């Protein structure tokens, strides 16, 4: 079978990129002929049955959203001869294609895209945005095409997509390299709290700093920032410190981030997640997770005691976690996250790929 994978950019290695790379590793072991269609390729070696097709990047820096729209269209055009197309990028990437099957891995609920497509814009800027809106509406309409099948990264995502678009999807949890962190599960922990995140508004890191400051505990934020807006947010959040025992790190090497994580007792998360790979990694590293009582956190952290509702509840549960009140749940948490392994992801994706081939 000829399989095309569409994932435009590997300029950063986040959850979406880890997911695609794990799938490529599995498909390399099969008899299928696999081609990755991309604009910025990963550092992955080609093999006899795996090739990388790079589309030339367009140079429209002031119109980057439009640029990405054109690049996505070209990737779909160039991949049409495949029997199966796997759409694996992080956002809404969907165009009509003559391929017999299109499997879309949904890292998000597409709520933001749907909301943007319905907004009203005026002036010269509105002309540009209306072009983007037409493209998004076209992509959203493709969801209902008969050759398109959806795969959600959690039960939460599946329900939200079904509610918005009336289309069901299979659930395949993304791959988490659990074994990499499990070796630190019983290592010595300091009585501090850590968050690993991207410096973006939707991560609600300002709320986390406020909670840590009012709670009076040692707190570390390790984040990455690629764009100017993210770097500005990092500086703004850092200015909230106000003499508290809070440390901030930005764009540090992965090995340093790992050392900070595995030596921490508690992992704190403040935003909604459609899955939350960092939460699962923290559990594997032996941390006690304290997460919001919403979204896919109810799937990754199955204990009510570890999910908070509001600032005061978060402070209380973080202090309890630091004191060791929830240590008896560590082994149950470790057993629970085994379902999120790389091996399970690869097995479940292979089953869906081969189901109708």
Q: How many other CB atoms are there within 10 angstroms of residue 280's CB atom?
A: 26
pLDDT in tens, 105-116: 999 999 999 999
Residue 206 has pLDDT above 80, yes or no: yes
Q: Which position has the higher pLDDT, 13 or 328?
A: 328
Residue 261 has pLDDT above 70, yes or no: yes
Same CATH topology for 2-175+341-354 and 178-340: the answer is yes
What pLDDT score was predicted for residue 243?
65
What mean pLDDT do residues 66-90 have?
Answer: 92
Residue 207 has pLDDT above 80, yes or no: yes
pLDDT in tens, 230-244: 999 999 998 877 667
What pLDDT score was predicted for residue 69?
87
Percent of the chain with pLDDT strictly greater than 90? 86
Query: What is the CATH number assigned to the segment(s) 2-175+341-354?
Result: 3.40.50.2000
Contact yes or no for 189/264 (Cβ under 8 A): yes
Q: SS3 for the chain, per residue?
A: CEEEEECCECCCCCHHHHHHHHHHHHHCCCCCEEEEEECECCCCCCECCEEEEECCCCCCHHHHHHHHHHHHHHHHHHCCCCCEEEECCCCCCCCCCCCCEEEEEECCCCHHHHHHHHCCCCHHHHHHHHHHHHHHHHHHHHCCCCCEEEEECCHHHHHHHHHHHCCCCEECCCCECHHHHHCCCCCCCEEEEEEEEECCHHHCHHHHHHHHHHHCCCEEEEEECCCHHHHHHHHHHHCCCCCCCEEEEECCCHHHHHHHHHCEEEEECCCCCCCCHHHHHHHHCCCEEEEECCCCHHHHCCCHHHEECCHHHHHHHHHHHHHCCCHHHHHHHHHHHHHHEHHHHHHHHHHHHHCCC
Give the mean pLDDT of the chain: 94
User: Measured between alpha carbons, how far is residue 357 from residues 32, 85, 124, 151, 353 in Å?
Assistant: 11, 12, 48, 17, 7
Sketch the domain layout of the chain as residue ranges: 2-175+341-354, 178-340
Residue 73 has pLDDT above 70, yes or no: yes
Percent of the chain with pLDDT strictly greater than 70? 98
d(CA 212, CA 319): 10
Q: Is the four-CA dihedral 88, 91, 93, 94 of positive or negative sign?
A: positive
pTM of the model as a whole: 0.93
What mean pLDDT do residues 100-129 have?
Answer: 92
b or e along 288-304 (b: 16 or more beta carbons within 10 Å of the residue's beta carbon)? bbbbbeebbbbbbbeee
What pLDDT score was predicted for residue 353?
96
Confidence at 68, pLDDT banded by 50, 70, 90: confident
What pLDDT score was predicted for residue 275?
97
For domain 178-340, the CATH superfamily is: Glycogen Phosphorylase B; (3.40.50.2000)
Residue 210 has pLDDT above 90, yes or no: yes
Confidence at 357, pLDDT banded by 50, 70, 90: low
Tokens of 250: 């930005």
Confidence at 217, pLDDT banded by 50, 70, 90: very high
């Amino acid at each position: 079978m000829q399989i095309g994978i569409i994932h435009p950019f590997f300029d950063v290695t986040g959850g979406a990129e880890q997911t695609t790379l794990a799938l490529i590793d599995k498909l390399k072991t099969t008899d299928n002929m696999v081609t990755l269609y991309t604009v910025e390729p990963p550092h992955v070696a080609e093999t006899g049955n795996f090739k990388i097709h790079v589309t030339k990047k367009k140079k429209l820096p002031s119109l980057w959203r439009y640029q990405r729209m054109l690049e996505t269209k070209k990737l779909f055009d160039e991949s049409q001869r495949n029997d199966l197309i796997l759409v694996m990028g992080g956002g809404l990437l969907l165009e009509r294609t003559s391929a017999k099957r299109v499997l879309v891995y949904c890292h998000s609920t597409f709520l933001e895209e749907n909301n943007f497509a319905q907004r009203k814009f005026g002036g010269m800027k509105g002309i540009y945005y209306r072009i983007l809106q037409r493209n998004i509406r076209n992509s959203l309409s493709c969801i209902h095409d008969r050759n398109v099948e959806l795969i959600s990264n959690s039960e939460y995502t599946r329900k939200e997509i079904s509610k918005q678009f009336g289309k069901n999807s299979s659930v395949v949890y993304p791959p988490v390299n659990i074994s990499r962190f499990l070796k630190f599960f019983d290592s010595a922990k300091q009585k501090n709290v850590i968050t690993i995140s991207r410096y973006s508004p939707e991560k609600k890191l300002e709320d986390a700093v406020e909670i840590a400051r009012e709670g009076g505990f040692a707190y570390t934020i390790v984040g990455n920032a690629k764009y100017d807006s993210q770097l500005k947010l990092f500086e703004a959040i850092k200015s909230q410190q106000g003499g508290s025992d809070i440390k901030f790190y930005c764009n540090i090497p992965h090995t340093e981030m790992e050392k900070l994580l595995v030596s921490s007792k508690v992992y704190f998360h403040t935003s909604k997640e459609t899955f939350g790979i960092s939460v699962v990694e923290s559990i594997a590293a032996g941390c006690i997770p304290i997460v919001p009582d919403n979204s896919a956190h109810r799937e990754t952290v199955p204990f009510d005691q570890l999910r908070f509702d509001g600032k005061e509840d978060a402070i209380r549960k973080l202090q309890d976690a630091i004191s060791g009140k929830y240590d008896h749940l560590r082994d149950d948490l470790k057993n629970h996250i085994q379902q999120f392994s790389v091996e399970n992801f690869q097995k479940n994706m292979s089953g869906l790929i081969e189901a109708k081939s």
